[in-house]
Structure 1
Amino acid sequence: MASVRYLVHDVDAAVAFYTGSLGFELRQQFGPAMAILAQDGLTLWLAGPAASASKPMPDGRRPEPGGWNRFVLQVDDLPGMVARLRRNGVRFRNDMLDGPGGRQILCEDPSGNVVELFEPR
């Protein structure tokens, strides 16, 4: 079984986003340090500043949220979902793109981590 770990600034805010906006189910939460969520076979670990995954590396670099790596959520009605997320104040990095395989857009969680929303043709 594979899991994706995202570093977040605030575990509670991230849990609210993923459960309330993207339909994830909260499986476990370990206070402000970490939460485990799931949706359609994807397990998402959210690690806050107090989690071991957020500790500095031996060379002094600190793990941080907000890069460009992402997971993809397949949706049935991308325009409808985008409209709902925009009404709820979700940030997007781009406009909806239409490509040979379908439509896609990149939204951000409250910590700036990217989630690609994709509607296949």
Structure 2
Amino acid sequence: MTAPDQYAAVRYLVDDVEAAVDFYTTQLGFTLRMSAAPAFADVVRGPLRLLLSGPASSGARATPADSATAGRNRIHLIVDDLDAEIDRLRTTGLPFSSDVVAGPGGRQILLTDPAGNLVELFQPAAH
């Protein structure tokens, strides 16, 4: 079990580790902890440790072929100003996978990393 003072980790399978590192560090504010590209890299943002596993990594090799595609699961990143983040990312040419969706808890939009993994940008509602 992860202790409260440790990172919560998520593994994303990616086609190109270097492209994924560039996407997460340049566009979404992650910091590179370790890289063994082209097989693997480890990036962090706050308490989230994102393990980026390329085709040569042990994590990718252990995944059955019928389970290797991106699903509906996604990492959820909280932002202070969703509209400003959308504008900033659009200027870099990144496409979004959804329109902004608003609900009682806040507003969100989806984009994908270079391998097609979903990322949700979420601005909580003011209370």
Runs (4+) of structure 1 exceeding 4 A deviation are: none
C-alpha distance in 2, partners of 1:108/1:90? 9
C-alpha distance in 2, partners of 1:91/1:52? 30
SS of the aligned residue for 1:49 comes to coil
1:36 partnered with 2:42? yes
C-alpha distance in 2, partners of 1:27/1:62? 30
Q: Which amino acid aligns with 1:32?
A: P
1:9 alignment counterpart: 15
Q: Please report the RMSD computed on the Cα atoms of aligned residues, expressed in angstroms.
A: 1.5
Report 1:1-121 matches (<5 A). 1=2, 2-55=8-61, 61=65, 63-121=67-125
Q: Could you give the per-residue CA deviations for residues 22-67 of structure 1, whole angstroms, max 9, x where no partner exists? A: 000000001200000101110000000111111165xx62553432
TM-score of the two chains, using structure 2 as the length reference: 0.87
Q: Measure how far apart 1:73 and its partner are.
A: 0.3
The count of corresponding residues between Structure 1 and Structure 2 is 119
Q: Measure how far apart 1:86 and its partner are.
A: 1.4
C-alpha distance in 2, partners of 1:97/1:5? 26
SS of the aligned residue for 1:107 comes to strand
SS of the aligned residue for 1:13 comes to helix
TM-score of the two chains, using structure 1 as the length reference: 0.91
Segments of 5+ residues of structure 2 without an aligned counterpart are 3-7
